[in-house]
């Protein structure tokens, strides 16, 4: 994880309040703990929600299968009902024809019976006993018997046909009941299917919202981790620098007592700084019009008479309330106020380059840690001076080698 430049660490070591740094560390540790707990809770909810979605999808699939089977059964029963209704209609037609035949035959029987009765009365009155009369009487009797036999046969057929019609009507009624029940069940399943689809869509929306919140928490967690590392580095370096300062003051005191103090004798305060020469293309300066009042490299501190390496340049704007701009496309990894450094913005760029802007009086309200910004994006404003530091692959480079600066 990237760290602040040594220049910022040195300044904070000399002027920042230790309790403020510790307080920042504690606050951000608590925030990190809360984000971790929220992440665990969201993961638990996501797992439960994922299981519920899978279950509802399975139930929805089962409902779809039931609907498909029910459609087939409905179609089959409709066809069977139509077939039964056609059969019933055929039975009705046959029964009507049979009843017509029976009625016609009954009329014929009555006519024969009437003729036979009249013939018998005539024979009794006239006492006709000729062979012809006897034959005629026998013929009437046979005709009567045949008619009665035919009527009995038709009655039996009518009885059977009536039974078949009752059976067909009963079958149609049963099929109609089944069809009505299936229609009702089909409607219930369609309603349930719509409810399941709506519920699944709502759960999918919840899942998306949870995932988005998880992404936000993860970015926040990464930023907090980065910030905690920065703060711990500041704390450790500040403590180390304070110790070195005390040791140096003690050494200076001893040196004054021995009257052997000069610049060379205090040169151990000068640290070996890893630097690299930048040979890439120039980019814009963080200020439009400015003056360089502190250059990059070693100088003698006028107060302590120490040789110090300045890892940054100090730029003074020629106009008040000047805009500070980002010099390269990159990602903001830190944007916060630090005691005595005012407001600080740290940006990571490609090729291992990192730029550090401190002493800002205002940070633009759109600046957020984790966001990607383009070259020229406004970071904030300054009134007096800007400290500008650049590192490349953890080594310091002269910022004036990177930017186009005033002649």
Q: Summarize pLDDT for 49-106 with one digit per residue, the tens.
A: 777 778 877 877 887 888 788 778 778 877 877 777 777 777 677 767 767 776 776 6
Which of 198, 189, 195, 193 is CA-nearest to residue 60? 193
Q: What is the mean pLDDT of the chain?
A: 76
* CB-based contact 214:22 (threshold 8 Å): no
**Per-residue pLDDT tens for 22-37?**
676 777 777 777 777 7
What is residue 360's predicted lDDT score, i.e. its pLDDT? 96
Scanning 18-130, the segments in alpha helix (DSSP H) are 18-126
pLDDT cut 70: percent of the chain above it:
66
Structure-token pair, residue 178: 């089944």
Least confident of 148-157, 341-350, 394-403: 148-157
What is residue 5's predicted lDDT score, i.e. its pLDDT? 44
SS3 label, residue 1? coil
CATH topology for the 271-407 domain: Glucose Permease (Domain IIA) (2.70.70)
**Per-residue pLDDT tens for 225-270?**
666 666 666 666 566 666 767 777 777 676 665 544 444 334 444 5
What is residue 399's predicted lDDT score, i.e. its pLDDT? 95
What is residue 136's predicted lDDT score, i.e. its pLDDT? 65
pTM of whole model > 0.75?
Answer: no
Tell me which of 3.40.50.300, 1.10.260.40, 3.90.850.10, 1.10.287.950 is the CATH number of domain 1-261. 1.10.287.950
Q: Would the pLDDT of 276 be above 60?
A: yes
- Ramachandran sector of residue 227 (left: φ over 0; alpha: ψ -120 to 50; beta: rest): alpha
Identify the band that residue 386 occupies on the pLDDT scale cut at 50, 70 and 90.
very high
Higher pLDDT, 401 or 173: 401
* CB-based contact 368:219 (threshold 8 Å): no
Highest-pLDDT range among 177-186, 365-374, 398-407: 365-374
* CB-based contact 70:186 (threshold 8 Å): yes
Structure-token pair, residue 269: 């305060």
Q: Give the integer Cα–Cα distance in Å for 148 and 154.
A: 10
What is residue 78's predicted lDDT score, i.e. its pLDDT? 75
What is residue 269's predicted lDDT score, i.e. its pLDDT? 44
Identify the band that residue 391 occupies on the pLDDT scale cut at 50, 70 and 90.
very high
Q: Give the integer Cα–Cα distance in Å for 264 and 163.
A: 131
By CB atoms closer than 10 A (0-12, 13-18, 19+), residue 328 is buried
Tokens 């310091």 label which residue? 396
Q: Would the pLDDT of 167 be above 60?
A: yes
Q: Would the pLDDT of 137 be above 70?
A: no
* CB-based contact 347:360 (threshold 8 Å): no
Query: In degrees to the nearest 10, what's the CA dihedral of 360, 365, 369, 372?
Result: -100
What integer is the mean pLDDT of 99-115? Answer: 67
Higher pLDDT, 330 or 263: 330
Structure-token pair, residue 36: 């971790």
Structure-token pair, residue 370: 């984790």
What is residue 183's predicted lDDT score, i.e. its pLDDT? 77
All structural domains of the chain with their residue ranges? 1-261, 271-407
Q: Give the integer Cα–Cα distance in Å for 120 and 123.
A: 5
Between vectors from CA 102 to CA 84 and to CA 168, what angle results, nearest 5°? 15
Least confident of 145-154, 224-233, 368-377: 224-233
Q: Would the pLDDT of 345 be above 70?
A: yes
Q: Is the dihedral of CA 103, 104, 106, 107 positive or negative?
A: positive
Q: Would the pLDDT of 379 be above 80?
A: yes
**Per-residue pLDDT tens for 354-363?**
999 999 999 9
What integer is the mean pLDDT of 337-344? Answer: 82
Q: Taking the CA atoms of the chain, what radius of gyration do you get in angstroms?
A: 54
What is residue 53's predicted lDDT score, i.e. its pLDDT? 77
What is residue 95's predicted lDDT score, i.e. its pLDDT? 67
Q: Give the integer Cα–Cα distance in Å for 148 and 146.
A: 5
Q: Give the integer Cα–Cα distance in Å for 361 and 403.
A: 22
């Amino acid at each position: 994880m990237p760290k602040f430049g040594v220049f910022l660490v040195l300044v904070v070591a000399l002027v920042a309040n230790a309790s403020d740094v510790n307080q920042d560390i504690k606050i951000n540790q608590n925030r990190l703990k809360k984000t971790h707990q929220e992440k665990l809770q969201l993961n638990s909810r996501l797992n439960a929600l994922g299981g519920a979605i899978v279950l509802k999808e399975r139930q929805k699939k089962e409902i779809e299968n039931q609907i498909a089977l029910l459609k087939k059964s409905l179609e089959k029963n409709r066809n069977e009902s139509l077939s039964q209704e056609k059969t019933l209609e055929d039975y009705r037609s046959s029964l009507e024809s049979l009843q017509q035949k029976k009625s016609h035959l009954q009329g014929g029987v009555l006519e024969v019976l009437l003729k036979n009765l009249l013939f018998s009365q005539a024979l009794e009155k006239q006492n006709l006993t000729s062979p012809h009369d006897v034959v005629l009487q026998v013929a009437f009797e046979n005709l009567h018997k045949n008619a009665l036999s035919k009527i009995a046969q038709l009655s039996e057929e009518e009885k059977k046909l009536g039974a078949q019609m009752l059976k067909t009507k009963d079958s149609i009624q049963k099929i109609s009941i089944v069809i009505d029940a299936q229609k009702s069940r089909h409607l219930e399943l369609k309603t349930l299917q719509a409810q399941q689809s709506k519920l699944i869509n709502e759960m999918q929306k919840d899942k998306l919202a949870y995932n988005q919140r998880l992404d936000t928490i993860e970015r926040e967690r990464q930023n907090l981790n980065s910030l905690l590392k920065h703060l711990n580095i500041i704390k450790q370096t500040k403590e180390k620098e304070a110790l070195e300062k005390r040791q140096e003051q003690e050494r200076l005191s001893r040196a004054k007592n021995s009257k052997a103090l000069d610049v060379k004798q205090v040169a151990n305060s000068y640290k070996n700084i890893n630097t690299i020469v930048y040979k890439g293309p120039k980019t814009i300066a963080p200020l439009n019009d400015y003056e360089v009042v502190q250059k990059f490299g070693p100088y003698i501190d006028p107060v302590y008479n120490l040789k110090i390496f300045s890892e940054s340049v100090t730029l003074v704007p020629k106009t008040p309330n000047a805009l500070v701009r980002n010099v390269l496309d990159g990602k903001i990894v830190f944007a916060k106020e630090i005691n005595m450094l005012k407001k600080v913005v740290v940006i990571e760029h490609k090729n291992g380059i990192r730029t550090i802007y401190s002493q800002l009086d205002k940070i633009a309200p759109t600046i957020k840690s984790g966001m990607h910004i383009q070259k020229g994006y406004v970071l904030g404003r300054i009134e007096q001076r800007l400290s500008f530091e650049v590192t490349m692959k953890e080594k310091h480079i002269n910022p004036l080698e990177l930017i186009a600066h005033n002649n």
